[in-house]
A and B are shown apart, each in its own frame.
Chain A
């Protein structure tokens, strides 16, 4: 079989970007949480908030470090595998992606060092301010990345001359039609990720009966957060879906598994989409509901995949199922948040063993939901790289052979397997070690100096040593 550089490059990009995405989506939410903890510690002077903040800053340091490592790879992917795309879009994407780098640069230079290492060296107010700035900075970073991504879905503010995009309006290009729904959807996803991880880890500490008082506070406040964020995400996600229906109807058709354009379109609960036969097998559906969701009327007309030739349809099964995974997990999150409220009403949320176990398991779900969501939106854009203007095949590096693409794909998988296994292992060590005690804080090594993200964590690599 001939190796296809196009498929291999798409797999490679999906692999490196998926691996990268899970780190920032967590750090964005966690940075905001740390800023809140710092604010509480600053305002109340209560040592519990201080200890919690110190603990979560260590977790943040490790995850941020891994995000930086995987981010380096990202900044070269566009050129190595998608050079035609890079050349055509550089006038817009170049500055926008560079602004993201500048934001990260600036953030790291100015505030991250103070947050990680400056606690006892700068005034408390300045430390709190740095925590806020780190949280704001992570949002600005995601602002630029999402602007670039959204522009590929809904290109605007540019004109194409001789195969090269020229920017005619920066504001129209940056705030392109799908930007705001995507931004808010992703922002809430970050809060949900941060919230569920904090809940899960806190529940784990409660189950182990370690530092119960401290982690109970963390659990309580995150459950409140989730109670509002999880339902809000359902609404924002729906708004994002409507935006997509307006600008990229074929993506929505793939999400719905709708092969034919029709009125009274059903909402499909289960089906096995068959692209070759252009139909679904084993379909279980609720009549009219998809029409109601998309048009507000059960009799409304919903566009189906029959509106475009087969070769211009996205891979339906991937989009269809990723969408169901995302929505299903989102509903589960709402349910878990409301169970928390019911248990809280009876004052038992922190003692109910099974609920703590559920929360522990739920810590992984936001990552799966986020990746599923990105699969929906990115695969759903196929075969377009810039929607309805440039296909994946047109954007590919012309000199790239299947062998080269396979070599680096295997290479990145191996490098990431080693590096991130080590990183995740170490993250688990940090979680196991737990929050520093008041004694630890008093004896903190005064020689610890700035400034690299990962050195913000102090847990030992080997398990037995930490007990010594």
Chain B
């Protein structure tokens, strides 16, 4: 076999990292609607919340499926360690997403059974978000792996630390959802979204702070990366704090789009900070990207198709968001 000309592993790491943040941002505000659902001021507000994401949610969710399949193709070790290690969590995630997805479809078509679909929507969203947060926590925590095979127990993924990251992501998605709603609604509903944004932001910041102290404290590798001399990655937490400050101020000024944009900025900076903490380890504490990668020819074979399809999907995604731009009005049915 000829020596690879390019290091596709890095390209693939970039693709998967891009897919993950696309998923987190886009399904994040969808799931946020579900998390906020039980607290909505009225049934009209719930209609607006659901309508604001109805046209785009399933496109958003497809990034998750691509992530799953892409991991198997490009980084099989990640796939075959994460899924057994997170076995119960993955089930909760999928069950949550299924209920959430079905509720989207049937709530609009139902009248007398609507409250059931409200619960399915809220419960599914909260469970799925928590499970995703716990996945992030487990990744930071690392996995008990020997010879490329997960050897830990069924509930290793459920620790005080992952509980915290799980709750953190639920509140984080709620914040994304609230600021999205500010952008997409008006009147009473928008005012409600303004009111809940600052408390949610405070909650997110407190949990981020605890995680930021906890992680380097228990993981010398992370401590070394951040505190061994001056590093450009320090810009990331500074930018994150700046974004948080912008959200706070923008809510006071009753700005429309800025809170959501700044929340996305907060998520992106935190995400990049997480990647910077662990790079190049994908199955911490022992396996790097290159340990986990599939064969060069397999990475190449799939990349060819991906380079063709991803631009089309991105154009289509942009087009859908463009078509559905602007405010969602109460009583204006999507159906």
Contact = CB atoms under 8 A, between A and B. Distances in A.
Nearest to B146: A398
Contacts of A307: none
Contacts of B305: 98-99, 102
B208 interface: no
6 contacts: A69-B101, A79-B82, A80-B87, A91-B297, A93-B72, A399-B152
A347 interface: no
B62 interface: yes
Nearest to A459: B109
B97 A415 contact: no
Interface in B87-139: 87-88, 90-91, 94-95, 97-99, 101-102, 104-106, 108-113
B75 to A, nearest CB: 9
A91 B298 contact: yes
Interface residues of B, number: 72
Nearest to B72: A94
A84 interface: yes
Contact of A86 (B76, B88, B306, B317): B76
B121 to A, nearest CB: 13
Interface residues of B, dominant DSSP? helix
B295 interface: yes
Shortest beta-carbon contacts, A-B, top 8: A94-B73, A79-B83, A90-B76, A461-B110, A83-B80, A454-B105, A95-B302, A109-B316
Contacts, number: 213
Pick the most buried of B83, B110, B302, B332: most chain A CB atoms within 10 A of its CB: B83
Interface string B306-335: 100100110011001001100000001111
Contact of B97 (A72, A79, A408, A448): A72
Given A422-B102, A426-B106, A407 B150 contact: no
Nearest to A465: B111
A94 B78 CA distance: 12
A69 B76 contact: no
B97 A95 contact: no
Range of interface residues on A (Cβ < 8 Å): 35 or more
A451 B84 CA distance: 34
B98 A419 contact: yes
Contacts of B105: 65, 452, 454-455
A324 B323 CA distance: 53
A333 B106 CA distance: 35
Interface in A142-177: 166-167, 170
B152 A87 contact: no
Interface string A257-292: 000000000000000000000000000000000000
B11 interface: no
A418 B74 CA distance: 35
A86 B324 contact: no
A449 interface: yes
A98 B302 contact: yes
A150 B59 CA distance: 30
A447 B104 CA distance: 18
Contacts of A407: 88, 91
B28 interface: no
Contacts of B112: 462
A90 B81 CA distance: 13
A75 B335 contact: no
A452 B57 contact: yes
Nearest to A403: B154
Pick the most buried of A65, A75, A94, A401: most chain B CB atoms within 10 A of its CB: A94
Pick the most buried of A87, A95, A407: most chain B CB atoms within 10 A of its CB: A95
A95 B323 contact: no
Contact of B65 (A72, A419, A452, A465): A72
Interface in A42-91: 65, 68-69, 71-73, 75-76, 78-80, 83-84, 86-87, 90-91
Contact of B66 (A87, A94, A101, A455): A101
A69 B96 CA distance: 11
B312 A110 contact: yes
Interface string B50-68: 0000110111011011101
A458 interface: yes
B6 interface: no
A399 B111 contact: no
Nearest to B116: A422
A167 B297 contact: yes
B2 to A, nearest CB: 13
A328 interface: no
A459 B106 CA distance: 11
A400 B87 contact: yes
A99 B307 CA distance: 12
A460 B282 CA distance: 47
Nearest to A414: B95
Interface in A100-120: 100-102, 105-106, 108-110
